[in-house]
Amino acid sequence: MSKDIAFVLAATACAIAVYTDLRSRRVPNALTLPLLCVAPALAAFEGFQAALIALAIVASALALGTVVHSAGVLGGGDVKLFAGVGALAGFPACIDVALYSALFGGLLAVVVSAARGELTAVLARVRSGVASSVAGHSLAAGAAVIDARGTRIPYALAIGAGFAAAMLAQSAVPFLRIIR
């Protein structure tokens, strides 16, 4: 029963986040902060170990997301949304959510760049950023090169699509599972 509630909460949060992100390029704290609290509390109905796993997912996602956010790659709301949705998905499905979100985020970046007529320039910045990273420069320097124009991408859309793909892989289309 709590897995069904978790799915509905995560899907609803993703839908609201996509709507607000498309309209204002923001994912509100009023949505994400309660999600961060509800996910471990809901997992507690499955037992103490499930609650600890949900807390670990939230903590890990926030820690890694903070690094990515400080590099200028993701917004803070996107990080909190992913942490909450990942915790609601549980382990190991949260890894599928992360990988599918990254895949859809990359595709979204290409589509947005192409729609703005900036695809060639963005690809050149990516190539330069990768070369900087390989040469030993920091991730933040590479991200600054990649996102030099400050284009904001509605990444909640990628997180929502990543969640949907991961949930399909967990149920109806198991061959799409990345982590077994």
**Where do the structural domains in the chain lie, given as residue ranges?**
2-116+151-176
d(CA 172, CA 44): 26
Q: Does the pTM exceed 0.75? A: yes
pLDDT at 121: 79
Instruction: Give the three-class secondary structure for 135.
Output: coil
Q: Which pLDDT belongs to residue 142?
A: 41
Asked if the bond preceding 34 is cis, omega within 30° of 0, the reply is no
- CB neighbour list of residue 120: distance below 8 Å, 6 or more residues apart: none
| pLDDT range class, residue 150, cuts 50, 70, 90 | low
The model's pLDDT over 51-61, given as tens digits with 9 standing for 90+, comes to 999 999 999 99
Mean pLDDT value of segment 68-77: 89
For residue 40, how many C-alpha atoms fall within 13 Å in the half-sphere facing its CB? Answer: 16
Residue 40 near residue 51 (C-beta atoms within 8 A): yes
